[in-house]
Amino acid sequence: MSFFKKDYSAYPQPVIVTPDPRDSEESISAAVAEAIDTTHAGQIDDSQIGTSSHRGATDPEILQDNKDLQPDAQQDSSSHQTAGGIDSQQQKDTTTRLADGIMSLLGPVVQEMDFNIVSVRKSQTELEKEIERLMAELQLFLASSASPPEVEPAVQKLIKARRQIMAANSTLKTVQERVDRMHYQIEKRQK
């Protein structure tokens, strides 16, 4: 196998069902449900996959087999269709499961990022205070000494470092605000 070619045989293949316009809505939904169940559950052998994917659900024998295999599915689908709200309930369930899955995947990463950002901001603030304290001590030392040593370049470096720390703090604050907004939006969508 080449580096750029990937073997997709291990992945589930899409289910293709081509309904006949003459079939009723119940038989179509039963055929689709049966095709999805058997294909994804691995309960169908290769000869049936080839038959159903090439001929689709238009063959009366397949439709009759589907009706025989799942008579309860037809009754369930008709009772759900009369209930009226099943599509919206399924969509809510799907949306909820998708949101839960995304949260379970991204939640720990976002929390770790949040923790790291908070710890970096805290250490940056402590470093800024230490630099300010050192600058004050250096200025006192310069004022008290008779002949000041050449510390001006060091003071300038400290001032430059302080500016960089302040810029980094600003960036970290912006990132923290974005993470907080993401948390808020995710919580809002879950409700």
**What tokens appear for 11 in the block?**
């992945």
User: Which one, of 44, 41, 40, lies nearest residue 66 by Cα?
Assistant: 44
Interatomic CA distance for residues 174 and 180, integer angstroms: 10
Could you report the per-residue pLDDT of 8-58, keeping only the tens digit for each?
555 555 545 555 656 666 666 666 667 666 655 544 444 444 444 344 444
CB 66 within 8 A of CB 39: no
* Collapsed DSSP state (helix, strand, coil) of residue 159: helix
Please name the amino acid found at residue 42. Answer: G
* pLDDT over 80 (residue 61): no
Whole-number percent of the chain with pLDDT over 70: 53
Query: Rounded to whole angstroms, what are the CA distances from 176 to 21, 78, 118, 121, 189?
Result: 55, 51, 8, 9, 20
Could you report the per-residue pLDDT of 120-148, keeping only the tens digit for each?
889 998 999 999 999 999 888 877 776 65
Report field, pTM of the whole predicted structure over 0.75:
no
Interatomic CA distance for residues 34 and 89, integer angstroms: 21
CB 168 within 8 A of CB 85: no
Could you report the per-residue pLDDT of 169-181, keeping only the tens digit for each?
999 999 999 998 9
3-state helix, strand, coil in the chain (%, to 5): 75, 0, 25
